[in-house]
Structure 1
Amino acid sequence: MTPIHEPLSEEAAARLVQVAALSRSSLAIRGGGTRGLNAAPDGADILSTRGLTGIVAYNPAEMTMTARAGTPLEVVEAALTENRQMLAFEPCDLRGALGSSGIPTIGGVFATNASGPRRFVAGAARDSLLGVRFVNGKGEVVKAGGRVMKNVTGLDLAKVLAGSHGSLALMTEVTFRVLPVPETAVTIVVSNLNDAEAVAAMATAMSMSVEVSGAAHLPESVRGRFAGGVLPDGAATVLRLEGLAASVAVRAEKLAATMASFGPVARLDADLTARLWREVRDAAPYADGTPRPLWRVSVAPTAGHQLVAALRLETGVDAYYDWQGGLVWLRMEADPEAALLRRYVKAIGGGHATLLRARPEVMAATETFEPQADAVAALSARVKASFDPAGLYVSPLIDRKQGA
């Protein structure tokens, strides 16, 4: 049975890492366990952040919060809700799509750079990260960044750790920016557009001075699995507007008038808007209880539909688009087709294809992330050496071929 360590303080975590470094052991960091990866790479102990909980500091007036890495995301969001504030990047919750359980943690949010529909206008999780405390591969506690935006010392270190999936260091505490919750929201729905037409419509909407905060296209194959099935018949191109009620009303009229030239237009109220965009964020159509391969593909906004069209000529796929078409959620009907998918991603100008779900034996045999170019891989190796010179930290996602 794999040993699991749950330090209750940063100091205890540092001592555990020091002991592991002296004994040349390996450690796999686990947050809330929401990724469904319960096994560590061969020979590694699990180092859990479960005991590192609590909000350390929260100043609503300065719109910053500091919390220990193992703090449940729901605790953070509850505190923010009391002050009508939010995490602007809308961290996704993929437990339904992955068929996993666990509790999302704020450290896990930043470790995976979990970002939702507002990412293309508000930035990713890493863009809200102001500072971090972490334990490096030598067992040293390091502080990077600060609690206010004016103090950006070491901010680059924080950004490097965001999205590193526990492969560089153990984050013990994070400081991040929050924003006010919009007073209201509305979604403009344009019906019956094909994928290419939808990309054109979204580009037009983004070029307007109406401040679209969400732009997605839901083909007919998935449209009925969103918002309780209340979307109009046909493919749905959905555009979100947020802000003060009077401003949203004016902007919605302007956007609807322009979108009418593309197809039939309808609107969703604030409650349905909130539901719809949660489901877009969390890949809800693919929370189907199956192990059919699920990919998250990031490409140029104008290239996503080209990728899907090319794949449909050779294999069975289902897809929908977020980030104005630049984020493609792809479910394969049989095999992951990693080589085929990545060949097409390269052909359309490049991007990143991440395998999120498949049968265990398929996951173990497939590279989770887009293979790096030689120059990028060399840079990544140097970064790894600076944080963790002995290679103490291993990631079940990055190092799954070693036995996870």
Structure 2
Amino acid sequence: MQPKSEAELADCLAAAKHPMAIRGGGTRPIGRAVAGEVLSTAALTGITLYEPGALTLVAQAGTPLAEIEAVLHAENQRLPFEPMDHRALLGTNGTPTIGGVVAGNVSGPRRIQAGAARDSLIGVRFVDGAGTVIKNGGRVMKNVTGYDLVKLMAGSYGTLGVLSEVSFKLLPEVETCACLILEGLSDQSAVAALSRALASPYEVTGAAHTANRGGRSRTMLRLEGFAKSVAYRTDALRGVLAEFGEVEVISDPDLVRQMWKDQRDVTAFAGQTGDVWRISCKPSDGPTIGAKIKGEVIYDWGGGLIWALVGEGHDLRKTLGAFGGHATLIRASEATHARIPTFHPEPAPLAALSDGLRRKFDPKGILNTGLMATAMPAA
């Protein structure tokens, strides 16, 4: 099923009597396979409003992300949140869409400086499970009054409604970039160095560390902006980091962009055997959590995001125990996904709130049913 307009989408959902598997570009099949007829947003395409002077863009949900980025690039602008491309990590094909980015709240290394996808989202249009078209937010940057459904839809994975249109605030593109590198640091020292840099006034836009698991660790910091500013901040930040060891500087913008694209897309784990987990935590807790993981570990967001490659079928949540964050199973076999919930269990009050929202927005229980369930059904 592939509606060609929002009205057709609303008719499809109003008439639906059985579960629907919502699909955008098909590049992020995270979690258990969802039963039901596939409902694709691929035909809902096109940029419906772009005002470079106002730094705002509105696009239909099925619009390819590459198309949006090309249009923005021509005006020397960009999406602030650097969305990850999951295709290499998950071994998928297809075309990433802007609706899929919003549905997964997909954000990259620049989140530490520019925020997540939801922080740049200023408006949404979507169709709920009853076939009702709902609009929230707007097409310009302003405060949202009433219920903030804009933020609610970001990261809901199509379980509350099917996005038809999204609106974003934008940022100017950067002139150049540089990367500072420290080699051989322990996880503890690396996170301390990243924290020191992030607390400095030098506007770090990337702070990552690849742990030493049978190789040499690497700690990276990214600076972006006007050429003179980047040069000044690079020299200043080298001084801040001097106590952690020798600092190498890479100033070739093309090389720096490729390095951070690889970091963003976790290409180090692409094609490797094993399950991939994504752990969100306090940066200061990162090294302690990382030390419990028997496998390869990559830190991002100054230590607040951990990517872990572990043995197949291993329930990493049991290994980590209780901590102030959450662990998401991103890549695993169908058998593992059938046994281990994809998303971290919620505290009872939050779970009750989530269930209530789903019943309100999807009264027939047809939208990606069970995708975000944190308890497995009885055998």
Fold match by TM threshold 0.5: yes
Equivalent of residue 360 in structure 2, options 376, 382, 386: 386
Which residue in the other structure is 1:273 paired with? 256
Amino acid at match of 2:15: V
- TM-score normalised by L of structure 2: 0.95
- Cα pair 2:213 2:295 within 8 Å, conserved: no
> Counterparts of 2:122 and 2:270 in 1: how far apart (Å)?
33
Deviation at 1:175, TM superposition (A): 0.5
| Structure 2: distance between partners of 1:37 and 1:181 | 30
1:177-208 CA distance string (max 9 Å, x none): 11111111101111221100011111111111
- The one-letter amino acid paired with 2:28 is R
State the secondary structure of the residue aligned to 2:292. Answer: helix
> Residue 47 of structure 1 aligns to which amino acid in structure 2?
L
2:289 aligned with 1:307: yes
Structure 1: state its 5+ residue gaps.
Answer: 224-233
Aligned to 2:238: 256
Find the counterpart in structure 2 of residue 58 from structure 1: 50
Match for 2:203 among 196, 211, 227? 211
Partner secondary structure for residue 256 of structure 1: helix
Report the Cα offset of residue 222 of structure 1.
8.6
- Within the candidate set 12, 16, 20, 1:16 is matched to 12
Cα RMSD after superposing both structures: 2.0
Identity across the alignment (%): 45
C-alpha distance in 2, partners of 1:104/1:402?
Answer: 31
The 2-side partners of 1:295 and 1:40 are apart by 17
Are 1:183 and 1:244, in contact at CA under 8 Å, matched by a contact in 2? yes
- Once the two structures are TM-superposed, the CA of residue 54 in structure 1 deviates from its matched residue by 0.6
Q: Distance in 2 between matches of 1:118 and 1:35?
A: 20
- Residue 389 of structure 1 deviates from its aligned partner by 2.0
Distance 2:351 2:304 in 1: 24
The CA distance in 2 between the partners of 1:305 and 1:398, in whole Å, is 28
5 Å-filtered alignment, 1:79-94, equals 79-94=71-86
Which whole-Å CA distance do the structure 1 matches of 2:310 and 2:88 have between them?
17
Query: 267-276 vs 9-18, which deviates more?
Result: 267-276
1:387 deviates by 1.4
String of CA shifts for 1:200-255, please: whole Å, max 9, x gaps. Answer: 111111111111111011124497xxxxxxxxxx3211111111111111110000
Q: Please state whether the residue corresponding to 1:302 is helix, strand or coil.
A: helix
**How many matched pairs?**
376
Aligned equivalent of 1:127: 119
How big is the shift at 1:364?
1.8
Corresponding residue SS for 2:343: coil
Match of 1:359 in 2: 333
In structure 1, the residue matched to 2:302 is 324
Contact residue 28 and residue 396 of structure 1 kept, 8 A:
no
Which amino acid is 1:205 matched to?
A: A
Measure the CA separation in 1 of the matches of 2:33 and 2:206: 37
- Contact 1:218/1:236 (<8 A) preserved: yes
Alpha-carbon distance change, 222 to 159 in structure 1, aligned in 2, over 3 angstroms = farther
Distance 2:336 2:214 in 1: 25
Structure 1, 301-310 or 62-71: larger mean CA deviation: 301-310
Report the Cα distance in structure 1 between the residues aligned to 2:164 and 2:64, rounded to whole angstroms: 13
Aligned equivalent of 1:156: 148
Gaps of 5+ in 2: none
Tell me which residue corresponds to 1:7: 3
Q: Which moved more, 1:281-290 or 1:58-67?
A: 281-290
